[in-house]
Amino acid sequence: MYNDEEKRTLEGVGAMSYKAIQMARGLVKPGVRLVDVAEKVEKFVMDNGFGLAFPLNLSVNSEAAHYTPSVEDERAFSENDIVKIDFGAEKDGLLGDCAVCIDLSGHYSSLVEGAEAALAVAISRVRPGVTTGEIGREIAKAIEDKGGRPIRNLGGHGVGKHDLHSEPFIPNYDDDSKNVLEEGMVIAIEPFATDGKGLVTDGDSCEIYQYVGPAQIRQPAARQVLEEVTAKYGSEPFAVRWLARSAQSKFSLYAAIRELERAGAIEPHPTLVEIGRGHVAQAEAMVIVEKDGCKVLTK
């Protein structure tokens, strides 16, 4: 639970997280490179005195989550894309997390509306004593009412200090969970809607990692990368491209990342892809559970 000073900081973190995704929303257009959006938004947050809870996620079409641009990434948005923007600011170890979805194609409005409706109804149901399974039931119904399927192996989560994904898990369907929401909990509610099969799996790309502990590292270049990661990012997720400025080359940087992963010093967070290659929409807000309901922090 958070004390009063931490709650004030969380409100500031939430407000900055929301400003950042709204800024990104205005930048996402056909022909624009993903890396340009990511770097502009991340710089905006840091220039305003906040850290980054995790790299800006720009997941497109069947990518549900965890895509962030790579080093020298030339990928650009197209007029056929549905784009998920997921991001959070950080201050003093307190983390933000929120997301919006943009349908550049105009073909997936029902998916976007389903995710947004699910988020709204879930927020309206949050109060002490409600179970996470009950929240999941409301999320699934709202998505299905718009013709979509909830993604069953993704969901919301608690948000702790230096811990972006803590208990409780908030399912996107009624999983019969009896975990009860308590006053003072901070949770991120995160509906995902798809026209696919309703499950995600690890994709082929991975640009987000997280330090998990010390390891024996042989190569000097890998040791240097590990020192930078622990000094700058601690246990928070980081993007490989954040390390590019101090690397000798793109090749040496990715070689170092591979060695650190093999040694168990860092954990990969690969892009999550819908198993039927269905299109995916997402909505997310972070709230604090209060006596008679909840307060949205990411606004």
Task: State the 10-residue block means of pLDDT for the chain, 299 residues long.
Answer: 94 98 98 98 98 98 98 97 98 98 98 98 98 98 98 98 96 96 98 98 98 94 96 96 92 97 98 98 98 97
Q: What is the pLDDT of residue 32?
A: 98
User: 188 with 127, same domain?
Assistant: yes
249 and 113 both lie in a single domain? no
192 and 109 inside one domain: yes
Q: Does residue 220 share a domain with residue 81? A: no
The pLDDT assigned to 213 comes to 95
**Annotated active-site residue in 81, 86, 90, 113:** 86
Domain CATH for 83 = 3.90.230.10
Catalytic residue among 103, 144, 163, 165: 165
Domain count, the chain: 2
Same domain, 102 and 199: yes
Contact yes or no for 35/241 (Cβ under 8 A):
yes
Give exposure, 72-102, as e/b (b: 16+ Cβ within 10 Å): ebeeebeeebbbbbbbbbbbebbbbbbbbbb
My answer on whether 198 and 212 are in the same domain is no
81 is catalytic: no
134, 138, 190, 236: the active-site residue: 190
CATH code: domain of residue 253: 1.10.10.10
Confirm if 290 and 1 have CB atoms less than 8 A apart: no
Identify the pLDDT of residue 248. 81
66 is catalytic: no
- Tell me: do 198 and 222 sit in the same domain: no
Domain carrying residue 138: 4-203+274-296
Q: Of 205, 268, 210, give the one whose Cα is nearest residue 60.
A: 205
Catalytic residue among 63, 134, 207, 284: 284
Q: Do 243 and 170 sit in the same domain of this protein?
A: no
